[in-house]
Amino acid sequence: MSAMLRIVVAGVSGRMGKALLEAVANAPDCVLHGALVRRGSEWDGREVAPSVVASSDIPAVLAGADVLIDFTRPEATMAHLAVCERLGVAMVIGTTGFDEVSKQRIIQAAQSIGVVLSPNMSVGVNLAYRLLETAARVLNEGYDIEIIETHHRHKVDAPSGTALRMGEVVAKALGRDLRDCAVYGREGITGERDPSTIGFATVRGGDVVGDHTVLFAGIGERIEITHKASSRLTFAAGAVRAARFLHQSGAGFHDMQDVLGLK
């Protein structure tokens, strides 16, 4: 096992990819082993770090790596997963928007490689999940629950993976299934609010990195649990932390709660 953690970063031409490159460069125990870009990218062949050239050749880039950190798109992540599984490379996956089939495929791959899958790698957000679990158990009657999230204009999925995960945490604490109680939009004459539902509101605009608020609205009081990210580096630092965790833990399926010891 190498003394240095050999990390490959996927999607290095994107905003998150660039933050990941910076986080790896700043980690004294890590080295950038390779950089992946999509086929046809203008970044293909560009040097992104000393002696590291971005490439779309997935097997060549991953050969000899310890961990791939992937914050790309579902279709790209699934292509990377197949090669990682074959080569024995662990994966830190921050990609969102997977369908159930893809999620099950990732869980299956974790039988042979280490995987951390989390819609948000931020330490603060993962602490917020724990706070939400406690709040939901205490405020289990007489409080309407709404989740409001705001992201930059370029984000392609809605609600965000983090907002959905917050909804899942709250629903589970209340003994509900989010698939049965989520409301993703309201328009027109909707009638009174069903108290068993969990509502979602999505805002897109500007360069907002990511704001999430879970509102517990009762009669005479409101409790809000909010996380605001001002830099993608917080997610990148969490991803590097997850890579270190996988380097020690071996095969298995994990989330950031495992990485941070919150379970």
| CA 116/CA 94 separation, integer angstroms | 8
Kindly state the tokens that stand for 27: 């980690």
Residues 6 or more apart in contact with residue 106 via CB below 8 angstroms: 81, 93, 98, 115, 117, 253
Alpha carbon 168 to chain centroid, angstroms: 14
Q: Catalytic residue at 263? A: no
Marked catalytic residue, from 33, 80, 152, 155? 155
CA distance 135 to 145: 11
CA 243/CA 225 separation, integer angstroms:
28
Q: How far apart are CA 1 and CA 197, in angstroms?
A: 50
228 bridge partner residues: 211
Active-site annotation holder among 33, 80, 103, 151: 151
Q: Which residues are catalytic?
A: 151, 155
